[in-house]
Structure 1
Amino acid sequence: MKLGQKAMEALQAEITGRLLPGNELIMVSPAALKGTSVIAEENAEKLKAHFSEGFLRASRSLYRDFGVGEEPMKSAAWKMAQEAGATALYAIGEGGFLCALWKMAEASQVGLEADFRKIPIRQETIEICEVFDLNPYRLHGGGAILMGISAGEALVQEYKRMGLMAAVIGQANSGNDRLLYSGESARYLDRPAEDELWKAVTRF
């Protein structure tokens, strides 16, 4: 189902710029940092049965230690992307990586391909999501940025020199399909679902 004009305008207002066919998709900072940190803080007692205190301490500080900052649009990472010629930028938040990817593609009216295996993610996030049976790619992604840019590998290397996790995860195209790959299997990118954080932290 296509979005109406007002809904599309509202969506486009969330994105800085637009994806263009041929853009590489870059993710800066790991998926689900904010969600993981919140769950580790709010469910400390339950998680103590599964993990060491050191692991939980690291999990609680993921957002602070590995994110681009409290205000992504004012961060050095955002400014670097603009200076490098990024055509589209989005600060990932509620709904996580998959929500951000759908919004960026829909607002730009492009197709895309992305590879789950290339998405930066911390082991703490994977293990905590397993405890609560959560999809980390639908978990609050505060602290990370998704962008589209031509020839993005040089920018990725700059981010890595800054100490940030970053990767080229896919590419936009002029088609209609939006495909997510994981090894040999592929599926279509769905419209955003509810943030997985609600399943683990009901008062968030």
Structure 2
Amino acid sequence: MQIGKLSNEVLREVIISGIDKKNEDIIVGPGVGEDCSVVEFGDEVCVLTTDPITAASNNAGTIGVHICCNDIASAGVRPLGILVTILAPPSAALEDIKRIMEEINEVCRELSVDVIGGHTEVTDAVNRIVLSITAIGKGKRDGFVTTGGAQDGDDIVVTGYAGLEGTAIIAKDYYDSLKDRLDGKLLLRAQNMLKSISVVKTGLLAADYGVHAMHDATEGGVLGAIWEMAEASRKGVYIYKEKLPVKDETIRICRELGLNPYRLISSGSMIIACSDGEGLCRFLGENGIDARVVGKFTDGKRIIATSQGEEEIAPPEADEIYRVKV
């Protein structure tokens, strides 16, 4: 099979279709594009998500905590704790596990999140360290946000920049191979972009402002995230490619490697559906968050307008990061 997440079609037909709901307390369950599950506890809800780290060789602990806490924040809920599973091959060194835990603890301190449990073992079932994290948050029953809440006419707001996480991973993991092809200072700037992959602040502010849906852009990039939000909401979209925010470092690295920056893993970017996108952008800007309106949700097809005309947005496939060859 192809490396990367299962396609949404396969996910729906093979995985989700066979899952039966058995408890009424589960108010948001598995679905294409949904970042979190939500369990009702009276006037409050428990929000949960889980993700492995497979695309990065370096900074796995840092990335793992951020992407799971980003998922919780995309529900408009503050993350409280994480459970950590580390599977290490026999060839791994204890220092490798120690480094991952140091990264995890550092990010948890930054986000005021607790490590509340997990599992660590050495196994020959893997050939490199696999890190998987489950994150938990708590919020009000009437205050959480889903991926599938977009409404006709909502503005599509994109925060951060396309391909941010993927750019940082490539610049770090392939630095030795790229330093003779791209400016070293550019690669170092790209590595530093890893410091900007949290959207916890963004998600909490947007929820307070009053938005209809949120989805953090991970594998499949910003275009994949927009498609998934539209799919979860059963809506069309009309977006403008020139309005999609992307940094020069990402453009230059992707051009060198023949990658599509808008399909590159993009933690650090939140896709938001809001009836007053310009107002939300001003509000987020006042709080130090880059945001812009890139289009609208519609009752039609999923269209992106480019300088060459209009084309339909394809469902996300394997992330561009898995195509890197240097």
Task: Calculate the TM-score normalised by the size of structure 2.
Answer: 0.56
Quote how far apart the aligned CAs of 1:201 are. Answer: 6.8
Aligned with residue 188 of structure 1, among 279, 301, 312: 312
- The alignment of Structure 1 onto Structure 2 pairs a total of residues equal to 195
8 A Cα contact 1:37 1:59, kept in partner: yes
Residue correspondence of structure 1 range 8-19 to structure 2 within 5 A: 9-11=30-32, 13-14=34-35, 15-19=146-150
Quote how far apart the aligned CAs of 1:184 are. Answer: 5.0
Moved over 6 A (4+): none
SS for the counterpart of 2:267 is coil
Quote how far apart the aligned CAs of 1:183 are. Answer: 2.7
Which amino acid in 1 is paired with 2:172? E
Structure 2: how far apart are the matches of 1:193 and 1:16?
19
Q: Which residue of 2 aligns with 1:30?
A: 161
- Residue 109 of structure 1 pairs with residue 234 of structure 2: yes
SS for the counterpart of 2:271 is strand
Pick which of 51-60 and 104-113 moved more: 51-60
Structure 2: how far apart are the matches of 1:184 and 1:24?
23
Which amino acid in 2 is paired with 1:133? G
Structure 2: how far apart are the matches of 1:102 and 1:139?
14
8 A Cα contact 2:148 2:229, kept in partner: no
Query: How big is the alpha-carbon RMSD for the aligned residues of Structure 1 and Structure 2?
Result: 2.3
Unaligned 5+ runs, structure 2 = 1-7, 18-28, 36-145
Larger strand percent: 2
Residue correspondence of structure 1 range 29-178 to structure 2 within 5 A: 29-64=160-195, 66-67=196-197, 69=198, 72=199, 75-175=200-300, 177-178=301-302
Unaligned 5+ runs, structure 1 = none
Larger helix percent: 1
8 A Cα contact 1:134 1:196, kept in partner: yes
Higher relative contact order (CA 8 A, sep 6+): 1
Quote how far apart the aligned CAs of 1:85 are. Answer: 1.3
Quote how far apart the aligned CAs of 1:76 are. Answer: 1.6
8 A Cα contact 1:42 1:201, kept in partner: no
Which amino acid in 2 is paired with 1:55? L
8 A Cα contact 2:147 2:233, kept in partner: no
Q: Which residue of 2 aligns with 1:199?
A: 323
8 A Cα contact 1:63 1:142, kept in partner: no
Pick which of 4-13 and 183-192 moved more: 4-13
